[in-house]
Structure 1
Amino acid sequence: MLDETRVYDDLGRQPGPQDLPPDLEASDWWSDEMVREAGLPVTDVPFVSVGGGIGSFVTVDYLRIAGVPPEDIRVLSNLDRPWRTYEYLTRVSQIPRAERIRSDSASRPDNVWGFPSYALTEAIRTRSARPLWQVLREPDFADFYTPRLGMVLTGMEREAARIRYWDMLDTGQVRTVRRRWGGGYFTVLAVNEPGGPSRMVAYRSWFVHLAVGYAGLKFLPELRQFRDTSDFHRVVNAYEDHEHVYTALRQRTGRVLIRGSGIVASRVSERLISERKRHGLQTEIVHLFRTYVEGAHGPHPWSRRAGGDGFAYQGFNYPKSVWGGQLKARARRSEGRDRARIYAEIGGTNTAYRRHWQRQLREGKNGGWYRSLAGTMGDLQQGPDGRLRAYVDSDSSRVELCADYVIDCTGLDGDITSHRVINDLLRHANAGRNPIGRLDVSRAFEVRGAASGDGRIYASGAATLGGYFPGVDTFLGLQIAAQEIQEDLARMGFGNRIGPARSLREWWRWLRDRPI
């Protein structure tokens, strides 16, 4: 049986075991005296980044390039590597290190300049022009070029060593961030002691950066109910380790119900089909779509997305103009309902059109062992024969589907109140929500309403989706947010401005792998 608690541990979202003293827990503002009387040791550092994932990594990278010494930065995290959660999620969603991820060639979290791109780097390392030729022909005559996961992770490891990332990392579970009387913030970290209870440390800083990612896995109500009353073995989330499903299907014939229409659903279907062909299996696949897409669609003729076979097709998470074109400019000047309308137009679940996978789908349909349907799952039960019974409401009818396994690919939990640190910020730091319900940030990614004297809280990543910049939960989006944050900090005297001369000099140092 799968241990769901362990899955959340892997995501780095489990709460720490220790509670704050009651007077600190109830107070919106903390004084130095209150913290001292509570017995919390205090560490002074100007800048604290909470999360320790790729969002923290790229922000710290910008600050180091801007000349901020490592002694002035602390990353508070329960992750020993910035890419740990990302690698876990990609691995269990069927993208091991040798496979290609869904990211642009120039979106390099290890290289703020984006040059040389992944395609150029791969061409040089393999002594082949094929990656560059693919870039020149994409997307009409070839699939979009995307880098291999291994190349991305190796690059981040190299850059982490270059900027002395591990000298800035303090491991533990962040408990809360509270405003400090006199300016700045206290960030409380619960540190696990070997063989004993955890202890709490308060970090006193002027600036706090939040890059906490998603709160955990998302299960729709009927799947949650089934898992609560049955087991975790046959109904799984694609973002948890479910290798046992593929192992079992190699030993006996079975039917799998896939639920979802994004990139993970397409990867899971590809894995199942590849396993079927490689091992000569008789696996049947049923794909359930909440909304079945049959062709091109969109709000108007000049803003349409390709589609077919139930999927909406798009090269990357968002249209490319989100990162530096008309959509970016439009979102940056929008407010309230107008901004929510933009997100509704460009959002929606989609996946990349990959030619090899399309051939697999056609083969499955022609062979009758892959079929798809549209509807919502009304109930999930275990039948007398031990198999799963899924009752799907489609139009005006209800269809019963039998399956041995259900793989849910509907994503991660985007509710910001599910994350303890952000929920605490909403309740105690006057933070608010943006037009689509996530954390409200300014154009510089400062959390609105949470200023404390000259101190500022910034946030980037999935928690800020719905702000002035779409595409925040991508490599390039995290880098753009980091650049905005660094420039805002430089205006307040923390770090240097990265002008042309500094940028060129630091790029040359990066190219030669010279430590900062």
Structure 2
Amino acid sequence: MEQQEAAGDLNSELLASDVWTDEMLAGAGIPVVDVPFVTVGGGIGSFVTVDYLRIAGVAADRIRVLSNIDHPWQTYEYLTRVSQIPRHERIRSDSSSRPDNIWGFPSYAVAEAWQERSLRPLLHVLGEPLFSDYWTPRAGQVFAGLEREAERIGYRDMLVDGVVRMVRRRAGGGYFTILTPPAGSSSTRRVAYRSRFVHLAVGYPGLRFLPDLQQFRETHQDFEHVVNAYEPHEHVYEVLKTRPGTVLVRGGGIVASRVLQRLMDDRERHGLGTEIEHLFRTYVSGAHGPHPWLRRRGGDGWAYQGFNYPKSVWGGQLKARMRRLEGADRAAAYAAMGGTNTPKRRRWQEQMRAGRKGGWYRTWQGTVDQVEPTADGRIASRVTGDAGTMTLLADYVIDCTGLEADIAEHRVIADLLEHGGAGRNPVGRLDVERHFEVRGTASGDGALYASGTATLGGYFPGVDTFLGLQIAAQEIADDLARRGFGARLGPVRSTVEWVRWMRGRPAGQKG
């Protein structure tokens, strides 16, 4: 006997069809909500896009944010916290990259100088990078600014709680975005949002462990001694405060540097006997790069760079050049500027030097062939490198490699690739136009946009940064204005709205 399909849920006809009609939704008993613009994700990518639209005069009742998080910085704050950047620590972002302020002025440094009644932040910025490290804002300052701007634009009024299942094209134009509401909040399993425009800012599709670490965890069901830096692992630092131990840190990026600093801070602050083995897959011994004008500093295993990308990515020659490249040429450009890197901070440079001198911080180069437990409860990593094969013993392994899952592991993107006409760009991510419309997904007079890390490999490299998200939002808002949705931000309107921002007045309103 065939199982009857539940009313108010996706049926086989909907799941199999690339284009849906209004009648198909009615037949399935799925209620439909009409709103011109929908953004999926609810993180900082969604927030900055909505911020631009509100400043451009789009009313809050014409926008809906479909998300399973309560506020835009929630996921980012979680990731920074578990990767050892609590609110009082500084993140990797420059002074003018303000996701709560599309104008970038006053900058974070100016705001901090005003709040603390001190010229030190301004003098720091003036001296970077020759006389001081790059100035960066504290995480808490960023979150507080986002909270104020969310209140100013009425973000909570636009937020709808739930998990988005898919986006399908609508016959006649526009899209249906299928939301699964929280249990008990709706009389049906699904709700369809019918809109002319959809924006995706779904963040990272997920974390992926290195194969050897994944095999160890699955085989031995040990999630305590082998951890990822992006998952909660505070227990490692707490145990090390109670007894001496050895930690194997794997990776050479910004998260690895933060984990190292936490281990070294605790060692210094509490007089601990912690020893650190540090494994680099690629060991950088000096300045490197394919061309004299694309070289970055390096040494002691690390590749050093102040920010995620060269600054010309955001508004210089490199940005203009990338917008002209196609196919293999663009992929080659990404490979040339890519690679793991981290800022060169004076504090942990001093700590590493002290560790090397004292013999409790040791660096290695190689790849791990196998990870297995020892008879005395430790973790043995068999490593093959330039020096041959060796075994590194540790009480804990912290993986800081930050490997990302394939975009198709996100169910909304996977459905777009299968049913929505979307494709992949030269580096395997979501293929978008210069104005961030997802190529191949147009539906009548509607458009589907995407921003954030899922679009890395497109015409603009810095997509997974604060300023990159704002540049994408500006491109999207300009394209929407061209289509008659919202006003274009010219000099007069921009100045008026900046004054409103400074005074804390609601965006896009008169008076």
TM-score, structure 1 as length reference: 0.95
Using the alignment, how far apart are the partners of 2:396 and 2:268 within structure 1?
A: 19
The AA in structure 2 aligned to 1:483 is Q
**Paired residue for 2:364, among 365, 373, 382?**
373
The AA in structure 1 aligned to 2:285 is E
1:302: how far off?
2.4
Residue 324 of structure 1 is matched in structure 2 by: 315
Q: Once the two structures are superposed, what CA deviation does each residue of 1:81-116 show, in whole Å capped at 9, x if it has no partner?
A: 000000000000000000000001000000000000
Residue 130 of structure 1 is matched in structure 2 by: 120
Task: Report matched runs for 1:110-125 at 5 Å.
Answer: 110-125=100-115
Residue 183 of structure 1 is matched in structure 2 by: 173
Residue 455 of structure 1 is matched in structure 2 by: 446
Tell me if 1:384 matches 2:366: no
Residue 10 of structure 1 is matched in structure 2 by: none
**Paired residue for 1:42, among 28, 32, 38?**
32
1:300: how far off?
1.4
1:69: how far off?
0.3
Residue 471 of structure 1 is matched in structure 2 by: 462
Using the alignment, how far apart are the partners of 2:387 and 2:168 within structure 1?
A: 52
Task: Report matched runs for 1:296-375 at 5 Å.
Answer: 296-375=287-366
SS at match of 2:230: coil
**Structure 2 portions without partners, runs of 5+:** 1-7
Tell me if 1:193 matches 2:179: no
More displaced 10-residue stretch of structure 1: 470-479 or 378-387: 378-387
Residue 62 of structure 2 is matched in structure 1 by: 72
- Whether the aligned pair in 2 keeps the contact of 1:447 and 1:459 (CA below 8 Å) is yes
Tell me if 1:260 matches 2:251: yes
Using the alignment, how far apart are the partners of 1:77 and 1:141 within structure 2?
A: 44
Residue 157 of structure 2 is matched in structure 1 by: 167
**Paired residue for 1:294, among 285, 302, 320?**
285
- Whether the aligned pair in 2 keeps the contact of 1:192 and 1:198 (CA below 8 Å) is no
- Whether the aligned pair in 2 keeps the contact of 1:289 and 1:310 (CA below 8 Å) is yes
The AA in structure 1 aligned to 2:67 is S
- Whether the aligned pair in 1 keeps the contact of 2:9 and 2:28 (CA below 8 Å) is no
Residue 44 of structure 2 is matched in structure 1 by: 54
Task: Report matched runs for 1:212-227 at 5 Å.
Answer: 212-227=202-217
Residue 5 of structure 2 is matched in structure 1 by: none
Tell me if 1:273 matches 2:264: yes
Using the alignment, how far apart are the partners of 2:405 and 2:334 within structure 1?
A: 15
Using the alignment, how far apart are the partners of 1:56 and 1:380 within structure 2?
A: 40
Tell me if 1:438 matches 2:429: yes
Residue 153 of structure 1 is matched in structure 2 by: 143
How many residues align? The count is: 499
Q: 1:195 to 1:58 in 2, by over 3 A?
A: closer
- Whether the aligned pair in 1 keeps the contact of 2:434 and 2:460 (CA below 8 Å) is yes
Q: Once the two structures are superposed, what CA deviation does each residue of 1:411-465 show, in whole Å capped at 9, x if it has no partner?
A: 1424111111001100001101111000000000000000001110000000000
More displaced 10-residue stretch of structure 1: 348-357 or 409-418: 409-418
Using the alignment, how far apart are the partners of 1:176 and 1:376 within structure 2?
A: 39
The AA in structure 1 aligned to 2:263 is L
- Whether the aligned pair in 2 keeps the contact of 1:192 and 1:199 (CA below 8 Å) is no
The AA in structure 2 aligned to 1:467 is G
The AA in structure 2 aligned to 1:52 is G
Q: Once the two structures are superposed, what CA deviation does each residue of 1:131-166 show, in whole Å capped at 9, x if it has no partner?
A: 010111100110000000111000000000000000
Q: Once the two structures are superposed, what CA deviation does each residue of 1:397-420 show, in whole Å capped at 9, x if it has no partner?
A: 211111110000011424111111
Q: Once the two structures are superposed, what CA deviation does each residue of 1:232-251 show, in whole Å capped at 9, x if it has no partner?
A: 11110000010000011111
The AA in structure 1 aligned to 2:16 is A
Q: Once the two structures are superposed, what CA deviation does each residue of 1:285-344 show, in whole Å capped at 9, x if it has no partner?
A: 000000000110011122210001101000000010011111101101111111111101
1:193: how far off?
2.5
Using the alignment, how far apart are the partners of 1:361 and 1:196 within structure 2?
A: 55
Using the alignment, how far apart are the partners of 1:515 and 1:412 within structure 2?
A: 40
TM-score, structure 2 as length reference: 0.96
The AA in structure 2 aligned to 1:204 is R
SS at match of 1:96: coil
- Whether the aligned pair in 2 keeps the contact of 1:414 and 1:463 (CA below 8 Å) is no
Residue 471 of structure 2 is matched in structure 1 by: 480
The AA in structure 2 aligned to 1:416 is I
1:267: how far off?
0.1
**Paired residue for 1:421, among 412, 416, 419?**
412
Using the alignment, how far apart are the partners of 2:16 and 2:246 within structure 1?
A: 52
Using the alignment, how far apart are the partners of 1:270 and 1:420 within structure 2?
A: 36
Tell me if 1:243 matches 2:261: no
Using the alignment, how far apart are the partners of 1:419 and 1:486 within structure 2?
A: 25
- Whether the aligned pair in 2 keeps the contact of 1:471 and 1:477 (CA below 8 Å) is yes
Using the alignment, how far apart are the partners of 1:447 and 1:438 within structure 2?
A: 11
Using the alignment, how far apart are the partners of 1:19 and 1:139 within structure 2?
A: 57
Using the alignment, how far apart are the partners of 2:161 and 2:341 within structure 1?
A: 36
SS at match of 1:299: coil
Residue 388 of structure 2 is matched in structure 1 by: 397
Task: Report matched runs for 1:493-512 at 5 Å.
Answer: 493-512=484-503
SS at match of 1:175: strand
Residue 3 of structure 1 is matched in structure 2 by: none
Using the alignment, how far apart are the partners of 2:101 and 2:364 within structure 1?
A: 43
Using the alignment, how far apart are the partners of 1:133 and 1:351 within structure 2?
A: 23
- Whether the aligned pair in 1 keeps the contact of 2:9 and 2:30 (CA below 8 Å) is no
RMSD: 1.2
**Structure 1 portions without partners, runs of 5+:** 1-17
1:19: how far off?
7.2
Using the alignment, how far apart are the partners of 1:44 and 1:79 within structure 2?
A: 22
SS at match of 1:208: strand
Residue 4 of structure 2 is matched in structure 1 by: none
Using the alignment, how far apart are the partners of 1:198 and 1:392 within structure 2?
A: 54
1:196: how far off?
9.3
1:229: how far off?
1.6
Tell me if 1:142 matches 2:132: yes
Using the alignment, how far apart are the partners of 2:293 and 2:62 within structure 1?
A: 49
Q: 1:326 to 1:95 in 2, by over 3 A?
A: same
- Whether the aligned pair in 1 keeps the contact of 2:9 and 2:188 (CA below 8 Å) is no
Using the alignment, how far apart are the partners of 1:441 and 1:354 within structure 2?
A: 35
- Whether the aligned pair in 2 keeps the contact of 1:218 and 1:410 (CA below 8 Å) is no
The AA in structure 1 aligned to 2:147 is E
Using the alignment, how far apart are the partners of 2:386 and 2:354 within structure 1?
A: 28
Using the alignment, how far apart are the partners of 1:50 and 1:29 within structure 2?
A: 19
